[in-house]
């Protein structure tokens, strides 16, 4: 390599590996868009750079000879096309170039790959604001979430994958002398091992978190020596295109083939994901998105897949200290990015007998009212609401929220009179709340993507737990929030939701929400239920991307 | 637990974990059946105990209320029934009992599970000789292999799985305090994690290595908290029945349900493997055996599978120092247990231009003759041959060897005039060697189980490597032996066979053979080609058996 990148980045890699195991707070990229961290004009310059992309060709990629220039992005805030055009390559070209690059990339040592990828993240860091605006105007996220999720949080998740891949590939010795006592003599073999990467990797992005959900698989495959084709959602390309471009630049600067990491966008009239996914040379697939396509990906023969699909997330209400604080916390969770997070709660289980609040029983109806009231107060707060709700990425989501006619229940809170003061044309809606009886399984047995809350009236907490567990095991779940002051109930919830592979946040109030997952501490998705078969970033997430192969030979003399 | 087993076994567990990472020689169970290690009368008593089982019910298992007593074993040495009968339980009973035991076993701490399983191995150790005779008379292995493979080597592979599972489950903290600086205050969460076992595990054994190929999956599932149903091959039950019985005794002694580890044998008129494998409650399946059934196992939806199927193992001959020593080494490898090892070589690639021997070219024909000569000399050595060849487990194998009519090539060495001096009725055959042209792909593109050697005439070493690699990628391979004195050729073989997920032994001569794999050092099967999707014991072999689930709650104060 041109520079001794391993010297430069060894410390951060070591710290990141340590953080993976301590699982205490660790962030290499500051999450607040502060001028004294990112520079006085960073925000302004980022916005300007974002605007320069509009109605232009994205020419930063180092991939040669595109067959066409394509682009379908549209801002949920302005409801008009971004007009950015990306180079299009047919799937065969992408795969052949990846295959060629594979034989160069796989021979780079794991430690050098890791250092090179950290270098790329460091080069992406000055572009966090530009990526933030690109994220706002493709996903509809509010400004702060756009910055944090697509910038520092995504970069830390990428670093996490790099660190884990680096650790796993260096966990066994490169070589050793094996010496076996045979009685009269010792049998000596020189042994060595290689972590052989599996081959061409495909990473299929989603429309709501174009970098956050893409970089873990992308960097995990790269650090383990696999060339990557990033296939973004056609409506959310720009944020990840910038990331790919920066990786390509570092590769080229270090004398490597930029096709080690390619962007493969859909043509305007042709979706290429299935062609790529089914290509025999594609060995690894990371996927984030809907369950139906995710199941298709998982079913493809001869592929190692890493999926995050959809789930039915739950809130279990048993007993609390302060119901107002709980209601406010939950109101924020369902309002944040208008419920378009994979971790957003949907099914709230409340016993018909009410819940204990500081020792007193509060009736079921009052609990429902408190929650509805907290959501109403939040969405009616003009200083807070626009920065929390953001906009709706997909018109179909807004439609679904407005006409959730398949839910058999009483509408407790209706939706969608929200106007964004900064973007008069923004596609928005506020949370809708339905009250559903526990017997109406059909209504609550699937994900209703977007700001839809179902309050499910159960017999008691035991039934709440039982249903939440069954839902998670049958339909998947990525998060569960539980409120109880009873240690025995807490243990029961941990035990039962643990069996359903669902992490549980207990008794959250204040500025911490069930939706949020911290890199280097919270495993995101467990892989243990139908919401997905992979987890950011447990060892399985990286070790399935390579094969340990051993070699041995008698030692001389 | 009744005893403080963790104190008792902590040292061996720590040593085993260390050995996994150093990958130098480590064996906890001595491989030689020496009186001063195992006791003066150990062999005699083992043989007597084996004989006591014959024509008797196997009553050691602690499983209650069998539906019948069944057994179909037959000695390949005596070609008559053993007459041992085992308790039969229908699949539903086995699964329900396992499911019930699951909820007890999963709550035992990983360290305690590990200690308890080491205790079981220690109790199995005094029965190695009894297991050896049981192995001889079910598999046809010779005495020494029966002792080593089913006794100490199997126990060390089991210990390896226990150690790896123990390490992986304790690799992340049980709990930690997560503290995030928020500017004016710190956000504090108490976090904890649990390694949640996946559920009922099934381990499907094979007829040739009834303990060695069964214990890794069995102990890997057990140490990670999953109840196990061991489903042995109906022709090779006794060796593993003894192992299961000893595990059950330790469980019961420690106040645990013996159904945590059950033996599930086929009825005489009904095979139960598919019923068990397809049962929705069965989550994990380990399998050793033929490719067709293995592919069926891998295809089952909703299961995590670990397979070892069949492969086409190769020998690449390029250049050697001493052709006689090489030929003797290879002759032993193909003769050992009459080629019934999954690691036995089958396809020998020899260039038509001959190979270099100490700088001189030896013609192709002479190389073939040397190999055939070495095999002939070995099988005609009455002191050695019976102890190497053993007997043929399955009559179909002997049939196949005698009439390998599908091989289009010249028979270089014919088979099967071997008489075992100790067992006049033994089912035996010696290796057959065919010479096949590289163009006759059909002939050498599949495993010909048993002592069948194909010498494939290639254009040059480059073609030898290319075919060996293609065979491994298309049809699987578990081992490759290569002979070259040229460092560039060696690197090319490592690189190409590495891509095919095939370990390579270079230049073996003397008392070390391509068939042999050492616990704690050689990964057995890589999982990187169609010969199997799992590896003894890489981290993947254990971590796929449980799910990391996290819990968090605001810290008080």
Mean pLDDT of chain B: 96
Q: Rounded distance, CA A337 to CA A393, Å?
A: 10
A394 token code pair: 């997909």
- Residue A412's nearest CA partner among A480, A506, A331 is A331
CA angle B252, B253, B254 (to 5 degrees): 90
- Residue B137's nearest CA partner among B126, B125, B146, B149 is B146
CA angle B468, B469, B474 (to 5 degrees): 100
**Using H for helix, E for strand and C for coil, what is the string for A482-507?**
EECCCHHHHHHHHHHHHHCCCCEEEC
- Cβ contact A523–B550 (<8 Å): yes
Q: What per-residue confidence (pLDDT) applies to A102?
A: 98
- Cβ contact B547–A527 (<8 Å): yes
B552: helix, strand or coil = strand
Angle, to 10 degrees, between the axis of helix A461-475 and the axis of helix A487-499? 20
- What is the DSSP code (8-state) at residue B125? G
**Phi-psi sector, B35: left (phi>0), alpha (psi -120 to 50), beta:** alpha
CATH code for A314-506?
3.40.309.10
Query: Cα distance from A254 to chain B (closest Cα, Å)?
Result: 23
- Residue B218's nearest CA partner among B229, B207, B208, B210 is B229
Tell me the pLDDT of chain A (557 aa) as tens digits. 555 899 999 999 999 999 999 999 999 999 999 999 999 999 999 999 999 999 999 999 999 999 999 999 999 999 999 999 999 999 999 999 999 999 999 999 999 999 999 999 999 999 999 999 999 999 999 999 999 999 999 999 999 999 999 999 999 999 999 999 998 999 999 999 999 999 999 999 999 999 999 999 999 999 999 999 999 999 999 999 999 999 999 999 999 999 999 999 999 899 999 999 999 999 999 999 999 999 999 999 999 999 999 999 999 999 999 999 999 999 999 999 999 999 999 999 999 999 999 989 999 999 999 999 999 999 999 999 999 999 999 999 998 888 766 788 999 999 776 889 999 999 999 999 999 999 999 999 999 999 999 999 999 999 999 999 999 999 999 999 999 999 999 999 999 999 999 999 999 999 999 999 999 999 999 999 999 999 999 999 999 999 999 999 999 85
Which chain B residues are within 8 Å of A511, Cβ to Cβ?
A: 182, 187
**Phi-psi sector, B294: left (phi>0), alpha (psi -120 to 50), beta:** alpha
CATH code for A5-309+535-551?
3.40.605.10
Report the residue count for chain B: 557
Q: Which of residues 189-248 of A touch B (CB under 8 A)?
A: 189, 191, 193-194, 196, 198
The values of phi and psi at residue A486, to 5°, are -100, 115
Query: Cα distance from A217 to chain B (closest Cα, Å)?
Result: 18
B410 token code pair: 């010249």
Give the closest of B23, B187, B501 to A196, CB-based.
Answer: B501
Number of H helices and E strands in chain A, helices first, is 20, 22
**Which residues of chain B form CATH 3.40.605.10?**
5-23+38-70+83-309+535-551
**Is A25 in CB contact (< 8 Å) with chain B?**
yes
Residues 6+ apart with CB under 8 A from B261: B218, B222, B227, B228, B230, B244, B247, B248, B251
User: B413 - beta bridge partners?
Assistant: B433
Q: Using one digit for the tens of pLDDT, what is the confidence trace for B374-406?
A: 999 999 999 999 999 999 999 999 988 887 667
Residue A161's H or E segment, with its range, is helix A154-169
Interface test with B, best of A498, A513, A524, A530 (most B CBs within 10 A): A498
- Residue B330's nearest CA partner among B308, B309, B347 is B347
Residue pair A221/A203 in contact (Cβ under 8 Å)? The answer is yes
Q: Rounded distance, CA A122 to CA A272, Å?
A: 31
Q: Rounded distance, CA A249 to CA A4, Å?
A: 16
Q: Rounded distance, CA A23 to CA A26, Å?
A: 8
Q: How many CB pairs under 8 A join A and B?
A: 167
**Which residues of chain A form CATH 3.40.605.10?**
5-309+535-551
A60: helix, strand or coil = coil
- Cβ contact A21–B509 (<8 Å): no
What pTM was computed for the model? 0.97
B266 token code pair: 């086929």
Residues 6+ apart with CB under 8 A from B320: B326, B355, B356, B357, B358, B483, B484, B485, B507
Distance of CA A463 to the CA centre of its chain: 31
Residue pair A290/A309 in contact (Cβ under 8 Å)? The answer is yes
Residue pair A23/B552 in contact (Cβ under 8 Å)? The answer is no
B174-187 exposure pattern, b = at least 16 Cβ within 10 A, e = fewer: eebebebeeeeeeb
The residue of chain A nearest to residue B176, with distances taken between CA atoms, is A24
Place of tokens 């971790």: A343
Q: Rounded distance, CA B504 to CA B292, Å?
A: 26
- Residue A455's nearest CA partner among A380, A513, A375, A515 is A375
Q: Rounded distance, CA B124 to CA A415, Å?
A: 67
Q: Rounded distance, CA B222 to CA B104, Å?
A: 12
- Cβ contact A511–B187 (<8 Å): yes
**Which residues of chain A form CATH 3.40.309.10?**
314-506
- What is the DSSP code (8-state) at residue A523? P
For domain B5-23+38-70+83-309+535-551, the question of CATH label 2.40.30.60 is answered with no
The residue of chain A nearest to residue B22, with distances taken between CA atoms, is A173
- Residue B417's nearest CA partner among B400, B395, B402 is B402
């Amino acid at each position: 390599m041109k520079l001794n990148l391993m010297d430069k980045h060894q410390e951060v890699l070591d710290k990141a590996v340590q953080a993976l195991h301590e699982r205490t707070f660790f962030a290499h990229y500051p999450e607040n868009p502060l001028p004294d961290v990112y520079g006085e004009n960073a925000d302004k310059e980022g916005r300007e750079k974002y605007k320069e992309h509009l109605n232009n060709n994205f020419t930063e990629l180092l991939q040669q000879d595109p067959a066409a220039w394509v682009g379908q992005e549209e801002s949920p805030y302005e409801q008009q096309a971004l007009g950015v055009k990306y180079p299009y390559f047919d799937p065969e070209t992408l795969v052949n170039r990846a295959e060629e690059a594979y034989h160069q990339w796989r021979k780079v040592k794991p430690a050098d790959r890791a250092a090179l990828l950290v270098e790329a993240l460091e080069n992406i860091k000055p572009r966090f604001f530009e990526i933030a605006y690109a994220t706002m105007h493709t996903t509809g996220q509010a400004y702060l979430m756009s910055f944090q999720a697509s910038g520092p949080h995504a970069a830390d998740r990428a670093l996490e994958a790099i660190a884990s891949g680096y650790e796993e590939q260096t966990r066994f010795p490169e070589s050793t002398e094996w010496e076996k006592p045979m009685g009269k003599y010792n049998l000596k073999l020189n042994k060595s091992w290689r972590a052989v990467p599996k081959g061409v990797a495909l990473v299929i992005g989603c429309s709501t978190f174009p970098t956050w959900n893409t970089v873990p698989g992308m960097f995990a495959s790269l650090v383990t020596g696999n060339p990557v084709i990033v296939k973004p959602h056609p409506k959310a390309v720009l944020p990840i295109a910038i990331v790919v471009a920066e990786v390509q630049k570092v590769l080229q600067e270090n004398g490597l083939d930029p096709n080690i990491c390619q962007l493969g966008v859909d043509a305007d009239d042709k979706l290429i994901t299935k062609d790529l996914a089914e290509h025999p040379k594609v060995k690894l697939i990371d996927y984030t998105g809907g369950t139906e396509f995710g199941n298709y990906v998982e079913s493809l023969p001869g592929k190692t897949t890493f999926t995050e699909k959809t789930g039915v997330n739950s809130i279990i209400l048993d007993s609390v200290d302060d119901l107002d604080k709980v209601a406010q916390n939950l109101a924020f969770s369902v309002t944040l990015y208008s419920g378009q997070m994979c971790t957003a709660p949907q099914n709230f289980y409340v016993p018909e007998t009410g819940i204990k609040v500081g020792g007193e029983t509060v009736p079921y109806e009052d609990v429902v009212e408190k929650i509805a009231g907290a959501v109403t107060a939040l969405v009616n707060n003009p200083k807070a609401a626009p920065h929390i709700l953001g906009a709706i990425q997909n018109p179909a989501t807004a439609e679904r929220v407005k006409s959730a006619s398949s839910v058999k229940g009483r509408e407790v809170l209706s939706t969608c009179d929200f106007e964004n003061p900064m973007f008069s044309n923004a596609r928005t809606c506020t949370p809708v709340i339905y009250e559903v009886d526990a017997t109406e399984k059909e209504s609550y047995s699937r994900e209703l993507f977007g700001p839809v809350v179902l309050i499910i009236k159960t017999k008691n907490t035991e039934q709440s737990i039982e249903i939440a567990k069954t839902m998670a095991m049958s339909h998947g779940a990525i998060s569960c929030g539980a409120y109880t002051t009873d240690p025995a109930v807490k243990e029961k919830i941990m035990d039962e939701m643990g069996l359903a592979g669902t992490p549980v946040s207990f008794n959250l109030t204040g500025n911490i929400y069930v939706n949020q997952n911290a890199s280097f501490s919270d495993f995101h998705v467990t892989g243990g239920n139908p919401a997905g078969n992979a987890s950011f970033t447990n060892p399985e997430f990286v070790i399935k991307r390579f094969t340990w192969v051993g070699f041995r030979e008698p030692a001389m003399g």
